[in-house]
């Protein structure tokens, strides 16, 4: 472990020297004056005074040596479309998109909201923003109109880029009603919606703000738009993520630090080389998509595979056939996908030639030992679990093969990555934990390059939320519980806050509660996450009705439960839909009126909640127990 330990120590004790070296991985149009400005903690500014551009580094820089190499391979099993773009093609498409955006008034510092399915134009749009110095904010296509509107109002974009439709599991999802509703709900709706017409939706959007991409693309077919040289700390993007409140936080990232961090991570953590092919099965709406479908592989001169579809359509062998067809070297997805594949015919896995594949990376939720062992044995390849967050942008914990290959410890994502001063701390005293003791995973100041700079438009929220939650210490809280062994390996033990993780999707229970509360029949609601064999966690809702008689007979109760769940689809998006809605006449609370969420979650998982001396009315616990048991019996458990 020597090399790893020295490497990590240097990154913490001599960050200037360490990151100065790593900064050589990217092109600086103007060299930086200083590696790190730590004059205003907890804010950190990396590579101050340096000027660079993410699009230049991801695309233009490769034209000299790999113009004819594939940059982007696009496969959709939803539409049957497959496209390949060399670096030269990608460069041309990004220039066209940038010219179109510019013609619609987009300039440096403006926000562009991207609400798109997994289509190549999403990549062009993100890179075009980077080229122009505009700030992209990608909103996951599964979010409903009110969620989209809330993000519009926070980011106040100059432009919204959208499509006629998304597609999932063979079903077309018409975006027109969603975009229309979001545009009319939002107080800060942009003047234009740029529409990528896939010709999937039966009805076409037809609103005054609508601009069609295709004719403009033709008009700007030969356009060449120069890259804006941005100061390293200008924002590159905003990505909204869920927290404890109902209002998602806009995670803001810089330009230079992000470029350096990703370029280094591809080498040290993913062991990717220029010319390699990487397939990250995620969505561009999530941070894994931003970092490892788009920016990191392109920064490194690799070929990235972008996939629209599920892992089991047309059958469970599709991903492995992609590995064979496209000679994929590195694969990255979430454990949920592997648990889904585990239920498929294993012969499908062995039908493909997987010789090109070196490693499978998994992140986003806990990787359970049986799943890790199953997939590693089935593939005959190493599986690397890695732990991080939207906020950090790249892994905090991993076995960093490019630094030193350490023995794998099943059930642990590994040891702290270089750059992260990761310490487990006692939740009450803030003191470092002894090995084997459960604590909150924290990071010391400064966060390394690539991590969030602030909450968009709300520095105070950044400080309050992340840097003031550990007693007596100004450290960054991940809001994850963990435990570290004597060799430094950390095990993740769940969130300390009200965030749950359903199929690798991060959701705030408050957001789901707010959506449910908008249903007229609901007086009060508590949403908790419970263990789920495939999705990791599932959301359960416990609802107190305004009029209990509305759910008096089982048929009426079922109907109402469905109606309430559907409200979540409409307000938040189907990803937030609770797996079950239970009716109770009272929720367990403390005498001061605080919901006893951990107690509810324990009961919902069939565990006893322990002593609750502050509970107002203990019979509320019995109601939760009974509701869960009754549902279990109905399902024949
Ligand atoms: O609770 C941790 C869990 O996912 C959260 C971050 O989710 P998100 O912001 O969507 O970013 C995902 C980036 C991969 C974390 O706070 N989490 C992430 N990776 C792991 C994990 N839990 C256990 N093991 C992991 N490898």
* pLDDT tops 90 at residue 543: yes
How far lies 91's CA from each of 56, 95, 128, 237, in Å?
A: 9, 6, 10, 20
Nearest one of 433, 456, 27 to 256, comparing CA atoms: 27
Cβ pair 422, 11 in contact under 8 A: no
Cβ pair 137, 151 in contact under 8 A: yes
- The residue nearest atom 22 of ligand 1, judged by CA position, is 365
Alpha-carbon distance of 391 to 13, in angstroms, equals 23
How many C-beta atoms surround the C-beta of residue 204 within 10 A?
14
- The residue nearest atom 26 of ligand 1, judged by CA position, is 387
Residue 345's pLDDT band (cuts 50, 70, 90): confident
> What was the pLDDT predicted at 632?
77
> What was the pLDDT predicted at 388?
98
pLDDT tens column, 2-52: 899 999 999 999 999 999 999 999 999 999 999 999 999 999 999 999 999
pLDDT tens column, 251-271: 999 999 999 999 999 999 999
> What was the pLDDT predicted at 446?
98
Q: Going from the N-terminus, what domains does the chain have, and what CATH number goes with each?
A: 504-636 (3.30.300.30)
Residue 1's pLDDT band (cuts 50, 70, 90): confident
| Contact 137 CB / ligand 1 (< 6 Å) | no
Give, for ligand 1, the residue of 286, 290, 387, 576 to mutate: max count of ligand atoms closer than 8 Å to Cβ.
387
Compute, in angstroms, the gap from residue 366 CA to the centroid of ligand 1: 8
- The residue nearest atom 16 of ligand 1, judged by CA position, is 389
Of 172 and 345, which is predicted with more confidence?
172
Compute, in angstroms, the gap from residue 189 CA to the centroid of ligand 1: 32
Cβ pair 130, 136 in contact under 8 A: yes
Give, for ligand 1, the residue of 239, 410, 501 to mutate: max count of ligand atoms closer than 8 Å to Cβ.
501
Compute, in angstroms, the gap from residue 390 CA to the centroid of ligand 1: 8
- Outline where DSSP puts E strands in 16-118: 34-37, 45-48, 51-52, 70-76, 82-86, 111-115
**Alpha helices (runs of H) in 252-352, residue ranges in sequence order:** 256-268, 287-289, 296-299, 318-326, 335-341, 347-350
**Omega of the bond leading into 506 within 30 degrees of 0 (cis):** no
Rounded-to-10 torsion of CA 553, 554, 559, 565 = 120
| Contact 283 CB / ligand 1 (< 6 Å) | no
Q: Which atom from ligand 1 is nearest to the alpha carbon of 385?
A: 26
Q: Which atom from ligand 1 is nearest to the alpha carbon of 413?
A: 26
**Which of these ranges, 128-132, 297-301, 597-601, has the smallest mean pLDDT?**
597-601
Nearest one of 42, 108, 67 to 255, comparing CA atoms: 108
Q: Which atom from ligand 1 is nearest to the alpha carbon of 397?
A: 26
- The residue nearest atom 15 of ligand 1, judged by CA position, is 389
Compute, in angstroms, the gap from residue 137 CA to the centroid of ligand 1: 20
* pLDDT tops 60 at residue 311: yes
* pLDDT tops 80 at residue 231: yes
| Contact 498 CB / ligand 1 (< 6 Å) | no
> What was the pLDDT predicted at 243?
83
| Contact 371 CB / ligand 1 (< 6 Å) | no
- The residue nearest atom 14 of ligand 1, judged by CA position, is 364
Query: What's the chain's Rg over C-alpha atoms?
Result: 24
Going by C-beta distance under 8 Å and a sequence separation of 6 or more, which residues neighbour residue 559? none
Q: Is 593 exposed, middle or buried, given 0-12, 13-18 or 19+ CB atoms closer than 10 A?
A: exposed
* pLDDT tops 70 at residue 213: yes
Cβ pair 217, 104 in contact under 8 A: no
Q: Which helix (H) or strand (E) holds 500?
A: strand 499-502
| Contact 500 CB / ligand 1 (< 6 Å) | no
pLDDT tens column, 88-110: 999 999 999 999 999 999 999 99
| Contact 473 CB / ligand 1 (< 6 Å) | no
Going by C-beta distance under 8 Å and a sequence separation of 6 or more, which residues neighbour residue 3? 403, 404
Compute, in angstroms, the gap from residue 363 CA to the centroid of ligand 1: 6
Q: Percentage of residues in the chain with pLDDT exceeding 70?
A: 99
Alpha-carbon distance of 426 to 6, in angstroms, equals 26
- The residue nearest atom 5 of ligand 1, judged by CA position, is 389
* pLDDT tops 80 at residue 479: yes
* pLDDT tops 70 at residue 204: no
pLDDT averaged over every residue in the chain: 95
Cα-flanking dihedrals φ and ψ of residue 64, to 5°? -65, -40
Compute, in angstroms, the gap from residue 388 CA to the centroid of ligand 1: 5
* pLDDT tops 90 at residue 228: yes
Compute, in angstroms, the gap from residue 100 CA to the centroid of ligand 1: 36
Cβ pair 491, 480 in contact under 8 A: no
Residue 203's pLDDT band (cuts 50, 70, 90): low
| Contact 480 CB / ligand 1 (< 6 Å) | yes
Instruction: Name residue 194's beta-bridge partners.
Output: 161, 211
* pLDDT tops 80 at residue 154: yes
């Amino acid at each position: 472990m020597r090399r790893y330990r020295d490497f990590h120590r240097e990154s913490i004790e001599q960050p200037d020297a360490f990151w100065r070296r790593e900064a050589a991985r990217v092109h600086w149009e103007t060299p930086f004056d200083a590696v790190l400005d730590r004059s205003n903690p907890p804010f950190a500014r990396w590579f101050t005074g340096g000027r660079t551009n993410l699009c230049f580094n991801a695309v233009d820089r490769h034209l000299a040596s790999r113009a004819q190499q594939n940059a982007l391979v696009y496969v959709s099993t939803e539409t049957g479309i497959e496209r390949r773009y060399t670096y030269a093609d990608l460069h041309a498409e990004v220039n066209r998109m940038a010219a179109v955006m510019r013609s619609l008034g987009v300039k440096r510092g403006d926000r562009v909201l991207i609400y798109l399915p997994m289509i190549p134009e999403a990549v062009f749009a993100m890179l075009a923003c980077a080229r122009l110095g505009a700030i992209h904010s990608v909103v996951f296509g599964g979010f409903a109109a009110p969620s989209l509107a809330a993000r519009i109002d926070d980011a106040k974009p100059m432009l919204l880029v959208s499509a006629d439709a998304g597609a999932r599991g063979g079903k077309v999802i018409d975006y027109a009603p969603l975009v229309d509703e979001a545009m009319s709900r939002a107080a800060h709706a942009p003047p234009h919606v740029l529409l990528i017409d896939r010709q999937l939706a039966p009805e076409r959007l037809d609103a005054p703000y609508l601009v069609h991409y295709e004719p403009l693309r033709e008009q700007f077919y030969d356009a060449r738009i120069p890259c804006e040289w941005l100061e390293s700390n200008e924002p590159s993007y905003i990505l909204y993520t869920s927290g404890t409140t109902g209002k998602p936080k806009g995670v803001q990232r810089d330009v230079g630090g992000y470029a350096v961090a990703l370029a280094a991570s591809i080498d040290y953590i993913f062991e990717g080389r220029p010319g390699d092919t990487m397939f990250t099965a995620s969505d561009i709406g999530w941070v894994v998509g931003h970092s490892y479908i788009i920016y990191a592989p392109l920064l490194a001169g690799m070929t990235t595979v972008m996939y629209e579809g599920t892992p089991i359509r047309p059958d469970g062998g599709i991903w492995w056939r992609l590995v064979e067809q496209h000679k994929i070297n590195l694969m990255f997805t979430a454990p949920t996908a592997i648990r889904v594949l585990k239920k498929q015919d294993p012969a499908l896995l062995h039908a493909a030639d997987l010789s090109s594949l070196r490693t499978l990376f998994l992140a986003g939720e806990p990787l359970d030992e049986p799943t890790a062992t199953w997939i590693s044995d089935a593939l005959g390849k190493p599986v690397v679990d890695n732990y991080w967050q939207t906020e950090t942008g790249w892994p905090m914990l991993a076995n960093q093969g490019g630094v030193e290959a350490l023995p794998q410890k099943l059930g642990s994502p590994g040891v702290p990555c270089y750059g992260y001063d990761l310490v487990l701390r006692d939740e009450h005293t803030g003191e470092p934990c002894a090995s084997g003791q459960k604590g909150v995973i924290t990071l010391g100041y400064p966060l390394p390059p690539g991590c969030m700079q602030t909450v968009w438009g709300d520095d105070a929220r950044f400080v309050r939320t992340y840097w003031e939650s550990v007693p007596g210490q100004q450290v960054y809280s991940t809001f994850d519980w963990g435990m570290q062994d004597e060799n430094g390996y950390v095990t993740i033990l769940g969130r300390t806050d009200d965030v749950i993780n359903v199929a690798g999707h991060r959701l705030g229970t408050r957001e789901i509660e707010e959506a449910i509360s908008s249903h007229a029949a609901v007086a009060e609601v508590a949403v908790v996450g419970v263990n789920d064999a495939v999705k990791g966690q599932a959301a359960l809702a416990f609802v107190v009705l305004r009029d209990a008689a509305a759910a008096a007979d089982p048929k009426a109760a079922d109907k109402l439960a469905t109606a309430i769940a559907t409200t979540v689809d409409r307000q938040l998006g189907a990803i937030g839909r609770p797996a079950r809605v239970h009716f109770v006449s009272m929720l367990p609370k403390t005498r001061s009126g605080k919901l006893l969420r951990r107690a509810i979650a324990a009961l919902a998982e069939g565990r006893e909640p322990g002593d609750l001396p502050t509970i107002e009315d203990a019979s509320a616990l019995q109601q939760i127990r009974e509701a869960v048991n009754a549902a279990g019996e109905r399902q024949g458990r």
